[in-house]
Structure 1
């Protein structure tokens, strides 16, 4: 009696060539790129420099905390074309979701949620609880006295409901331990400041311009 044919394996992240980690045949360049980004962020391997713009999209492929805190319609508004740009300060920025209303300007008081990760994708801190979805938004003025410069530049020009990701170099990051935003709890605060000399990836959702 003939045995039933075995089901063919399918893989959502096929690699360029079969290997013990990814034993699937080659696919298109776009899918191979997705596979490499997935391995780099989730800790399998990475040969690329952490400052590449592809990291911004990959840094949130494992866990997207802000999406849980957003309305369903807003969370689904991921653009077909990622809009990357590099600011004069060295901040590398990606517009993910456009908001509505007036743009945030320097000196405005803003309320926002954020997720902070190291450049290799490891989680550092978030204002959104990854289990309950509850958030503790931050309210800060857009100036160079309280907020780190890189994050201020990310928030300027955003509209309420908008979402951006950015790679912030340490030169415009936590150059002073008094700069915000930092967690109130000792453990998360120490974890964040211990990586202050590294590039950090911020995913920011602007809630209100007050």
Structure 2
């Protein structure tokens, strides 16, 4: 019987003062790694004084208040950062350009401007990769050009290019050069505008917004047209995709020859 009487139940923790509950405090503090260390028992002496916790008394309350103040200050910092980010978004909103796929929605896409390009009144951006030293074409004259085309608004896909490796999607090493008569409206407005400002032998790179590109998003209505099936499919996908935001195109144009009337 003496051995049985020597076994005692584990001591119960002291009850909390009347009117105070320790449950919210425990739930709050258990999120900290220091409390997980304290629960291991003998290692509690490793905790710094500021991390020790008491379920009752003024000490526990002061630690709780201190930790709450830290959390509230962190929330304030996050809110301030969010407000600053919102201001940046509002500042960019004034630079948004009209995109048919985004009409009626609460967001847009900013118009891209390139500092090393010259922008005309129509919105065309161009850069001369090589300035020609010959005459400039006149209205009514026929020009012979070489050109490359890219869908820079959609992953930079090529829809027309020369001198590509044989066997690839874009062969065309021996394709005929593109010809059109200046002022005949045979080509998209961006092409017409670019050629009239070039000199013979020059190479110009142009960035074409949708309003200066293919009318009604159909490359069959105006030139230049891709000469390969792969190029036609790539361009047609961008032009006819109603959900595609950016239909901006890029062309490289080389003025090879001017044929008088």
- Could you say which TM-score interval applies, normalised by the shorter chain? 0.5 to 0.7
- Give the number of the structure whose residues are more often helix, by fraction: 2
How far 1:50 moved relative to its partner?
Answer: 6.8
Normalised TM-score (structure 2): 0.46
How far 1:183 moved relative to its partner?
Answer: 1.9
1:17-42 CA-to-partner distances (Å, cap 9, x unmatched) read xxxxxxxxxxxxxxxxxxxxxxxxxx
Structure 2 distance, partners of 1:105, 1:202, is 21
129-138 or 106-115, which moves further after superposition?
Answer: 129-138
How far 1:51 moved relative to its partner?
Answer: 2.1
Distance 1:50 1:195, change over 3 A: farther
Partner in structure 1 of residue 52 of structure 2: none
Partner in structure 2 of residue 122 of structure 1: 156
1:3-59 CA-to-partner distances (Å, cap 9, x unmatched) read xxxxxxxxxxxxxxxxxxxxxxxxxxxxxxxxxxxxxxxxxxxxx9672316xxxxx
- Confirm or deny that 1:96 pairs with 2:129: yes
How far 1:99 moved relative to its partner?
Answer: 1.2
Structure 1 distance, partners of 2:213, 2:200, is 23
Number of residue pairs the alignment of both structures matches: 135
Map 1:1-210 to 2 at 5 A.
51-53=112-114, 84-120=117-153, 122-131=156-165, 134-136=173-175, 137-143=177-183, 145-176=185-216, 177=218, 178-196=221-239, 198-210=247-259
> Which structure 1 residue ranges, 5 or more long, are not aligned?
1-47, 55-81
How far 1:89 moved relative to its partner?
Answer: 1.2
**What is the Cα-based RMSD across aligned positions, in Å?**
2.5
1:76-103 CA-to-partner distances (Å, cap 9, x unmatched) read xxxxxx5x31111110011111112210
Distance 1:142 1:135, change over 3 A: farther
Displaced runs of 4+ in structure 1, greater than 3 A? 184-187
Normalised TM-score (structure 1): 0.56
Kept in 1, the 8 Å contact 2:160–2:227? The answer is no
> Which structure 2 residue ranges, 5 or more long, are not aligned?
1-108, 167-171, 240-245
